[in-house]
Structure formats: C-alpha cells, structure tokens
Copies of this chain bind each other. A is one copy, B any other.
Amino acid sequence: MSNAHLIAQLDFLLELDKLKAILRRTRPAGMQRLENSAEHSWHVALMALLLAEHAEPAVDAERVMKILLLHDIVEIDADDTFLYDETGTLEKVAKEEAAAERIFGLLPAAQREAFTALWREYEDRVTPEGKFAYACDRLLPMLQNLANQGQSWLENGVRFEQVIRKNLPIKDAAPGLWDYVLPRLEAARAAGWLA
C-alpha cells in the first residue's frame, strides 16, 4: 500500500478532532457544559447496537453503527442545527453537501465513496438502517431530556407539538420504542418540562 494512501487516511483521521468542538443543546447528565457532537456520536452508535432488536423491519446493526459514527462529521464545516430550529433548512442541506465533499474528499477514492454513501443513507432515511439510525438520533436527546427534567426543551422553549411532529419517524422505524416514549412525553408536558 502506498504511503500517500495512508497519509490521506490519517489526514481524515486528524480532521475528525474538530467534531469535538461542535456543540449541541443537550447537557450530559450531571454536567453544566453542553454536549459535543463527537461524544454524542459515540453514544448514539452504541445505542444502535444496544437497541437494534427493537427495529422493525430488522436491521443490520453494524451498518447502523457505521452510519451513526459518520452522520455528524459534516458539522465540522456546517455546524450543528438544532432540530427545532425551523429556519434555514435549504441552506443547511447545501452547507452539509459541501462539507461532505470536502471532508470525505480527504479520503482515498474507495473509502470516500463508501463513507459518503453511509452518510447519505442517514440523510435519505429510505433503507431500514437509515431510518433506524435516524430514529436513534431522535430518541437519544429525548431520553436525555426525560432524565434531565427537560433541560434542553426548557432552555430552548420547545413545545410538545414540535416534539411529536419531529420525532414521529421513530414510530415508523421502531414502534416499540415510540410506544415507550410517548406516555413519558405526555407526563413531561404535564410536569411543565415542555411548553
């Protein structure tokens, strides 16, 4: 294998360090600081492995893990967009496409194509794996909020109807997980954690 091939791989590897500086709206349990997209990506990839048996139809859990390890890398250039931010969606798509081209473009050709395809599978939400990856990525911050007295909902004025509408894809990919979370969202509204 040529040295140039390995050097391209290592350029990509070191570029990934930057995802550790991209902040989300969630605060990890017991911490004051915001969560970053790199530690979130670890958490949600492991979540997919943990909960894959709840996917309907069944999924290849290992492909879901790979999708989720890669799904936020574009934020290095495009930054995190809060799910409940209703503005700028078209601009977001264009920014993320450019980010994917630049960042996956650091890789040798075969890997550039494979990683881009996994990222696109998340964005497209057509395959069972893409849908389940998206469902995990939606469910995790809800569970964190439910464990955290609605921290990011309250800090950002999120409404119950928004949460239901944005997170309904979970029902399609993992109905058992939706059945679990829905009554807890209703209890959160009753507790005043959601507007």
Name the interface size band of chain A. Answer: 35 or more
Interface of A is mostly: helix
Q: Is A105 an interface residue (CB 8 A)?
A: no
The CA of A49 and the CA of B9, in the complex, are separated in Å by: 11
**A1/B42 contact (C-beta < 8 A), A28-B20, A66-B65, A143-B10 known:** no
* Residues of A in contact with B (beta carbons under 8 Å apart): 1, 3, 6, 9-10, 12-14, 16-21, 28-31, 35-36, 38-39, 41-43, 45-47, 49-51, 53-54, 62, 65-66, 69-70, 111, 140, 143-144, 147, 176-177, 180
What are the 3 closest A-B residue pairs judged by CB atoms, nearest first?
A42-B42, A38-B39, A62-B62
